[in-house]
Chain A
């Protein structure tokens, strides 16, 4: 039973345009959501997070939107750059569970075309 779903395995975007990566979740207990970026043969690096009490968090070119009623979040990258080409993982956590265990989606591979 997949609690965090990234239904698009891949996405291609022109340089300078907006990239929108989507993520859906099923567990209403999740209270924090995070995005990680991963290059091949490297470990994921933290990108941005959002608390369930917010609907938007922004950090430079990266903005995450959360729609709790739809159990949906999205990562917007504006403008997209070739260096953004990577696999993006959505992750969620229920911080009250005590284990601080992140649940990851399967990832979306973003390709930014120069």
Chain B
């Protein structure tokens, strides 16, 4: 079955450490996205990528970095510069160059990051 896989589901990080969240999709989607969800804040866009080797900052990119070396993969690194990294992180993908209003985005199941 096609879909998006995020790993790990739960992640603990010590303050001052960088940590990388994995996102892999086998949907042959062009575009991939990273969102952060906080209570009462909805979904806020961190970074997105429409094609390989290209990505753009979203609304809250500070303290985060991404790479898009393969179409299937869009890892997110939460750096020590991110002041409040504890949150639920969601990866999504879409057709990108051919947006489908019937399906919108496909989301992964998320990673819960906790700074200890």
Number of chain A residues whose Cβ lies closer than 8 Å to a Cβ of chain B: 25
Contacting residues of chain A (43-69) with chain B, CB-CB under 8 angstroms: 43-46, 49, 51
- A45 with B107: CB separation less than 8 A: yes
- B40 with A106: CB separation less than 8 A: yes
Asked if B108 is at the interface of the complex by the 8 Å CB criterion, the answer is yes
- B104 with A43: CB separation less than 8 A: no
Closest chain B CB from A63 CB (angstroms): 16
- Complex Cα distance, B43 from A93, in Å, reads 14
Give the interface of A toward B (CB within 8 A): 6, 9, 32, 34, 36, 41-46, 49, 51, 89, 91, 93, 95, 99-102, 104-107
Give the interface of B toward A (CB within 8 A): 4, 6, 9, 31, 33, 35, 40-43, 45, 48, 50, 56, 58, 88, 90, 92, 94-97, 99, 101-110, 112
Q: Could you list some 25 contacts between A and B, CB below 8 A? A: A6-B42, A9-B40, A32-B101, A34-B101, A43-B108, A43-B110, A44-B43, A44-B107, A46-B103, A46-B104, A46-B106, A49-B101, A49-B102, A89-B43, A93-B99, A99-B50, A99-B56, A100-B50, A100-B96, A100-B99, A101-B58, A102-B105, A104-B43, A105-B42, A106-B42
